[in-house]
């Protein structure tokens, strides 16, 4: 694991096509869900981001057989008994999504320790929504100073209401319900893309989940799941949004391939209101057959500020992860736009780092920022914040700023964006990576 520095010579027009990867959110949920299968699973179109590498390290350390069959195909076999006492503490603690093991192991392990997690530094990120749901199924979690002590009893079907419609909390509840005898109902569930992909994957393995894509899931417990010879992961819409933001910020003619349209439709509508021109091309189904896919061609456009505030909310709202990716776009839109980043206590603070690149941003409080445009972005040296999407927003702004910029400690971005430097170079970006 390297903490890399990116060196960017920005202000260049980009051109060509860039392909959306599966990112980190859906692949990691499927990785953890494979533990439920206790048989062979092959996941296709997997990305090679740092977050996935950490999760693989965790699973291998407890006895799961995992190997890459090729660049994007991952073989997983968790049929052997697990060795939770040998869990890789450092890898577990470095990624917040290791929390998904709470649901994945609810039917397999009676008593184990899960080491407290890292991830993005976005203020308080409580795990209470996970615990309130899991406790109803029979999972008991006691917080210690450095780890969670987990005790699982026999699973029971439940009708639950999600305390918070969080993605990973919903995924944990789904995985806990799979082997709970009877019928479970999960209300106020997240219907986001990674949750839907998890449900489709589990149904492919023999689970019985109804209501996919809605906020009410009905899960009939099964006794076991069967092997999955091939499952294609959804292309990540937040990965796609980064390239959309990049094209607009750099005023480039760029086509973003393999975009999961239903999870970008509201983002595109907001951009359309701002005056952004784009084309939807090559309509088709995803390789799994579950999602609508387009290629999106972005054309340089004169933008005006949004007439209303921009804010994220659970799907089908504007994706909460995509809110920071609008910030560099708004620096190039005439007028003032208010962003309300209500979900996290600290994330909006990171937007101020863009001021070092010439952005005109006024932080009104920890959640609200006023962005004024149009500004000419300027090169500078910035330390990447410990958060994926704000870090990516800074990199996008650097690519749009004339001159040489340096982004230090870029590891947070590489947690989620696959093969980043190579993909950017393929569309004409002048970027290099230095391993520290």
Contact 270, 306 (CB under 8 A): yes
Same domain? For 10 and 121 the reply is no
| Residue that wins the pLDDT comparison between 325 and 348 | 325
Among the listed residues 415, 422, 421, the one whose alpha carbon sits nearest the alpha carbon of residue 24: 415
Same domain? For 112 and 94 the reply is yes
Query: What pLDDT is stored for residue 117 in this prediction?
Result: 67
Pick from 198, 232, 266: which residue ends a domain?
232
Average of per-residue pLDDT values in the chain = 94
CA 130 to each of CA 161, 176, 280: distance values in angstroms, whole numbers, following the listed order: 11, 11, 38
Residue 329 has pLDDT above 90, yes or no: yes
Over residues 285-310, the mean pLDDT reads 97
Same domain? For 13 and 54 the reply is no
Residue 120 has pLDDT above 80, yes or no: no
Same domain? For 157 and 298 the reply is no
What is the radius of gyration, based on Cα positions, of the chain? 21
Pick from 200, 232, 264: which residue ends a domain?
232
Contact 231, 44 (CB under 8 A): yes
Pick from 232, 259, 293: which residue ends a domain?
232
Residue 124 has pLDDT above 50, yes or no: no
Over residues 288-292, the mean pLDDT reads 98
Q: What share of the chain has pLDDT > 90, as a percent? A: 87
The CATH number that applies at residue 80 is 3.65.10.10
Query: What pLDDT is stored for residue 2 in this prediction?
Result: 56
Q: What is the pLDDT of residues 13-39, one digit of tens each?
A: 999 999 999 999 999 999 999 999 999
Query: What pLDDT is stored for residue 365 in this prediction?
Result: 93
Query: Looking at 86-90, 261-265, 290-294, 332-336, which range is the least confident one?
Result: 86-90
What is the DSSP annotation of 243-305? HHHHHHHTT-EEEEEEEEGGGTHHHHHHHHHTT-EEEEEEEEE-TTSSSEEEEEEEE---EE-
Range of the domain at 30: 25-232
Under the banding of pLDDT at 50, 70 and 90, the label for residue 344 is confident
β-pair type (368-373, 216-220): unpaired
Same domain? For 345 and 202 the reply is no
Residue 134 has pLDDT above 90, yes or no: yes
Same domain? For 274 and 190 the reply is no
Same domain? For 223 and 296 the reply is no
Same domain? For 222 and 282 the reply is no
Same domain? For 272 and 369 the reply is yes
Same domain? For 372 and 318 the reply is yes
Q: What is the pLDDT of residues 398-407, one digit of tens each?
A: 999 999 999 9
Over residues 333-337, the mean pLDDT reads 98
Same domain? For 261 and 122 the reply is no
- Count of domains forming the chain: 2
Same domain? For 347 and 307 the reply is yes
Q: What is the pLDDT of residues 362-373, one digit of tens each?
A: 999 999 999 999
């Amino acid at each position: 694991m390297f903490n890399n520095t990116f060196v960017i010579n920005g202000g260049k027009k980009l051109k060509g096509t860039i392909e959306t990867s599966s990112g980190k959110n859906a692949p990691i949920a499927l990785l953890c869900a494979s533990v439920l299968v206790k048989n062979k699973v092959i996941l296709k179109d997997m990305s090679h981001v740092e977050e996935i590498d950490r999760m693989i390290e965790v699973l291998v350390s407890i006895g799961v057989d995992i190997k890459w069959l090729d660049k994007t195909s991952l073989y997983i076999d968790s049929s052997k008994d697990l060795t939770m006492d040998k869990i890789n503490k450092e890898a577990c603690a470095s990624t917040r999504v290791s929390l998904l093991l709470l649901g994945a192991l609810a039917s397999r392990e009676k008593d184990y320790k899960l080491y407290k997690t890292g991830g993005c530094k976005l203020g308080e990120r409580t795990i209470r929504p996970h615990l309130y749901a899991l406790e109803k199924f029979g999972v008991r979690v006691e917080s210690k100073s450095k780890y969670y002590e987990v005790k699982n009893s026999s699973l029971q079907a439940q009708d639950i209401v999600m305390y918070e419609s969080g993605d990973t909390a919903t995924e944990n509840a789904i995985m806990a319900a799979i082997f709970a005898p009877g019928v479970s109902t999960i209300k106020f569930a997240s219907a986001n893309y990674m949750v839907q992909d998890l449900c489709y994957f589990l149904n492919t393995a023999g689970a019985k989940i109804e209501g996919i894509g809605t906020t009410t899931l009905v899960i009939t417990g099964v006794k076991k799941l069967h092997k999955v010879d091939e499952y294609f992961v959804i292309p990540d819409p937040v990965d796609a949004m980064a390239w959309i933001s990049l094209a607009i910020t750099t005023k480039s003619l760029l086509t973003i391939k393999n975009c999961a349209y239903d999870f970008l439709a509201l983002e595109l509508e907001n951009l359309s209101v701002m005056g952004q021109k784009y084309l939807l091309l090559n309509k088709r189904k995803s390789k799994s057959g579950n999602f609508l896919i387009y290629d999106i061609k972005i054309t340089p456009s004169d933008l005006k500020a949004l007439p209303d505030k921009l804010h994220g909310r659970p799907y089908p709202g504007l994706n909460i992860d995509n809110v920071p990716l609008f910030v560099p776009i708004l620096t190039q839109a005439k007028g003032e736009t208010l962003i309300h980043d209500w979900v996290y206590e600290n994330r909006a603070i990171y937007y101020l780092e863009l001021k070092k690149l010439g952005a005109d941003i006024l932080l009104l409080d920890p959640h609200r920022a006023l962005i004024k445009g149009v500004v000419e972005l300027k090169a500078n040296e910035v330390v990447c914040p410990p958060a994926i999407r704000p870090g990516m927003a800074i990199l996008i702004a650097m690519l749009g700023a004339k001159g040489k910029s340096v982004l230090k400690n870029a590891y947070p971005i590489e947690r989620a964006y696959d093969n980043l430097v190579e993909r950017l170079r393929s569309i004409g970006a002048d970027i290099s990576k230095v391993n520290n």
